[in-house]
Amino acid sequence: MILPEIFVRRMMKMLDNEFDEFQQSLDNEIATTIRINPAKFKGQPVLIPVNYCSTGYFVPERPIFTIDPFIHSGVYYVQESSSMFLEQVIKQVVTKPDLKVLDLCAAPGGKSTHLASLLPKDSLLVSNDVIRARGQILSENLKKWGKPNIIVTNNDPHDFQRLPGFFDLLVIDAPCSGEGLFRHDENAVHEWSSDNAQLCAQRQQRILADVWPTLREGGILIYSTCTFNPAENEENIKWLSEFADIEPVSLKIADHWGVTITDAGGFPCYRFYPHKVSGEGFFMVVVRKTGGSESSQPKKIKDNLLLASKAEKEIGRAFFSDENLDVLRFEDSLLAFPSHLLSNLLQIKNNLRILYAGVKIGEMKQKDLLPAHELALSTILNRSAFPEIGLTIEEAITYLKRDDISPQSVNRGWNLITYRNTPLGWVKNLGNRFNSAFPKEWRIRMSVSEFQGERLKAEIAKFPL
């Protein structure tokens, strides 16, 4: 790999006698890693685990993930292993049982899906992306993950100042110059420049300054990037400490993890170099806010238009099995959302642009409820409420392409489609045919005609679970 000269000089200064090993590692094969959804996969994968992540695993041979039904149903997420270090912060630092968390730059959803699995049950996760198209991708991945205590927003960081002291935890995986992903994307090497890296550092400072007031006193900031540039990493934490009251938060690091600890004016930082870890370049630092806003109190709900009628609640509750959820009405849809978080939802609704919240149960058509695809993939679905149809791998791929299937079923009406006992979505049995309710925008678009017989068996053998 031909690296920019300015980048090489800086890395040689930073790494000294480790530079040659670092440079060689950029030409090594990229490891493929997944993180399983513990709410959907209860077994123990026969895979090599990621040292610092209890649900992360290395996949020995990269499959064509598109034709694995499990990735479409949220059983696992393909994520670079260094980013999974987030788990150590939550396990070592977080003690509050009911956190309010903001994942600010969240698309496509790697850290948000991870947080959804790690956070205590009574917590609220707000996942945001400033670009609407990316926000839609974020929503899709979180819908697949299936948790009801999530709100997806589409706002600029500055907008969150309307919620002073609201959050207990901020996760900012800041847009950066992407040096840590050079071997993932050759275009990143060609597009890199020192001027762009400096612009990234300035943008990161703006993001930190804009969102800082929304963190309560005593709250935790997790700041990360996928770059090696100190100006975007250690220097930004030094900059933050100049105008904000913060204190360092240290993590216990095992030697065999290969994590490099650096210092930023008394703040321990954690670096991941590809010649020392089986992952890509990554940076993380954790600090605690020691001054500023106390946690803001949510407004009490009065005549909340989101609350469904008594009849609608009875209809909706038949579809899910969690008594701690309430049924909300939004336009023609019914949503399930944690009852104890309704005040928070209302406060966010009044101040931010919401793309998605909770779990969509379905749409009301007169007095009938048409079940939503998100409900099928959720962790709250009452599976006893519907007949089920199990599909083979060939049938499942056909269904995910949204092509016609003709399974054996005598049950008219809505049937839950499953693959290896994992829900994939809905079909409606009309007697003479099955109407698919799989979302058109989520369908497999690639040609899969060649994946038949022995070719399909060979590809299935690569599937991680």
In the predicted model, what is the mean pLDDT of residues 189-201?
93
Q: Which pLDDT score is estimated for 302?
A: 53
The reported pLDDT for the residue numbered 102 is: 98
What residues contact residue 16 under an 8 Å CB cut-off, 6+ apart?
none
pLDDT tens per residue, range 325-359: 999 998 889 999 999 999 999 999 999 999 999 99
Say how many C-beta atoms besides its own lie within 10 A of residue 432's C-beta.
5
- Measured over the CA atoms of residue 335, residue 164, residue 122 and residue 103, the dihedral's sign is positive
| Digit-coded pLDDT (tens) for 379-420 | 999 999 999 999 999 999 999 999 999 888 889 999 999 999
Assigned superfamily of 82-289: Vaccinia Virus protein VP39 (3.40.50.150)
Q: How many CB atoms lie within 10 A of CB 331?
A: 6
> Quick one: pLDDT at residue 343?
92
CB neighbourhood size of 294 (10 A): 10
Residue 300 reports pLDDT greater than 60 = no
Give Dmax (Cα) for the chain.
72
- Give the rounded distance of the alpha carbon of 78 from its chain centre: 10
Residue 305's pLDDT is what?
A: 59
What's the token pair of residue 260?
A: 């490099």
Q: What is the pLDDT of residue 46?
A: 94
Contacts 24+ apart (CB under 8 A), 181-190: 181/226, 181/280, 181/281, 182/1, 182/3, 182/26, 182/281, 183/1, 183/26, 183/27, 183/28, 183/30, 183/274, 183/280, 184/30, 184/80, 184/280, 186/1, 189/1, 189/2, 189/3, 189/4
Question: Above 80 in pLDDT, residue 296?
Answer: no
User: Alpha-carbon distance 147 to 218, whole Å?
Assistant: 27
Write down the domain spans for the chain. 82-289
For residue 51, the 8-state DSSP code is: T
C-beta separation of 264 from 285 below 8 A = yes
Give the pLDDT confidence of 251-274 residue by residue, as tens digits: 999 999 999 999 999 999 999 999
Rounded Cα distance between 359 and 143, Å, is: 7
Chain-wide mean pLDDT for the chain?
94
The β-bridge relationship of strands 260-264 and 267-272 is: antiparallel
Report the pLDDT value the prediction gives residue 330, as an integer from 0 to 100: 84
Distance (Å, rounded) from C-alpha 302 to C-alpha 281?
A: 49
Whole-prediction pTM: 0.95
Query: Can you give the pLDDT at residue 303?
Result: 47
β pairing state of 388-390 and 368-371 = unpaired
